[in-house]
Copies of this chain bind each other. A is one copy, B any other.
Amino acid sequence: MARFGNNLKAKEPVKASIHPSASDSRKLIHEALERSEAILIVGVCEILYKGRASSTLGSGERIVIITKDKALLIHRSCGYRAVNWQPAGCNFRVEKTSEDRLEITAVRMKPLESVKISFDRIYLTCVLDLIDESKICLYASESDMQKAILHRPSLIEDGFAPITSEKEMPTGFVDILGRDKDGNYTIIEIKRGRATREAVMQLARYVEVFRKENPNTRGILVAESLARGAERALASLNLGFKRLSPKKCSEMLREVEKNEAKEIKDYF
C-alpha cells in the first residue's frame, strides 16, 4: 500500500463527523469535492431524478456516496442496486436551504440530467481520502473462452481450424470464423453463460449472410448452457451447439500461460 509502504506517518484517511449540523456538513462536503476526495453521508433524505427518465423517492434513511471521480450513488438499507445514481464526471452543488436542510445536486451534462438529494437530517458525514491502486483481475470471461478456442480449436470439434476472429459482417462481428475437417466454413458464436434465443438469432444472421457467398457454411453456438427457446431456435434453424465452460477455458489458459513461462525460462 502506498499509504504505508514508505514508513512516513500516515495521513488520516477517514474524517468522520457524527450528527454534523447542516453548515458543518456542507463545509466538509464542499471541501472534499474541491479536493476530489470521496464522501460518505448517512441521513434522512428525499430524492428527485430528472433526465433520460425521471423518478421521485419520498423521505427515508439512506447511504449516499460521492466518489473521487464525481460519481453519485444512493443506497437504501436493502438491495444490491443503487436506488438513484449518476455515473462519474458530474458537477455537484451543495446548498444549505434552511437551518437543518442540506441539498446536494448532481448534474450530468451529456445527456443532461440531474439527481437532487434533500436532506432533512444528517447522521454521519465522512470524508474519505482512499488510496486504491490495485487492478482487478477477472477470469472466465467470454474473451477467455475465445482465446481458449483459438489456442486449442479441438475444444469445438476434431479438425476445426480457425481462420480469423472478430471478422466484420454487415450485421456485426463474428466471434470466430474457421473451417471444419470437411472444409466447410464454420461460424462460432460464443456466450459465457446460458445462451438465449437472442444469441441464436445473432448466429443465424451471420450464417445467413455468409451462405450467400459460401453455401457450405455451418454455425455453432458455444455456451455453458442453453435456454429452452434457444434450443428450439437452434433446432429449427439447423445450427449446432457445443457446451463449453468459461471456467474450464480460463483454467486451461492459465495452464498454457504457466507452461509458456516455463518454456521461456527453460530456454534461457
Contacts and interface: CB of A to CB of B under 8 A. Distances in A.
Interface of A: 1, 3, 13-14, 16, 18, 38, 40, 42, 44, 52-63, 65, 67-69, 71-73, 75-80, 82-88, 120, 123-124, 126, 128, 130-141, 170-172, 192-193, 197-198, 201-202, 205, 233, 236, 246-247, 250
Number of copies: 2
Contacts of A14: 18, 42, 123-124
A53 B172 CA distance: 26
B13 A16 contact: no
A147 B31 CA distance: 46
B80 A139 contact: no
A76 B40 contact: no
B139 A246 contact: no
A87 B78 CA distance: 10
Top 10 nearest A-B pairs (CB, nearest first) are A60-B132, A58-B134, A77-B130, A61-B130, A53-B140, A14-B123, A71-B80, A69-B78, A55-B138, A57-B136
Nearest to A38: B77
A59 B135 CA distance: 9
